[in-house]
Amino acid sequence: MSFAPLARVLRLTDDFRQQTVRGMLERHHTEAASYWTQLVLAAGIATFGLVLDSGAVIIGAMLVAPLMGPIVELAMGLAVG
């Protein structure tokens, strides 16, 4: 599936797209501490939700989980093309 028409509509240059991808890849290596912090917080919140038998708290833990980062980055990648 090609996103080139979308990039033309949004007037995105190839240089901008390459800089965006490089920035995402470089940032990935520098955020190890943030990843582990999110993982520990999500595990703590999920444990708290299990103890309280609360589905809403467990869903909140899913939103804090590090998996949310790649989902947001995928959406940004699709938007940028």
pLDDT digits (tens, 9 = 90+) for 18-58: 887 787 777 666 667 777 888 899 999 999 999 999 999 99
* Residue 27 token pair: 């940032």
Q: Which of helix, strand or coil describes residue 11? A: coil
Q: Is the pLDDT of residue 2 over 80?
A: no
**Type and span of the H or E element at 23:** helix 14-30
Residue with tokens 């990935």: 28
pLDDT score for 25: 73
Lowest mean pLDDT among 1-15, 27-41, 54-68: 1-15
Q: pTM of the predicted model, to two decimals?
A: 0.53
CA 70 to CA 65: how far, in whole Å? 10
pLDDT score for 23: 77
pLDDT score for 69: 75
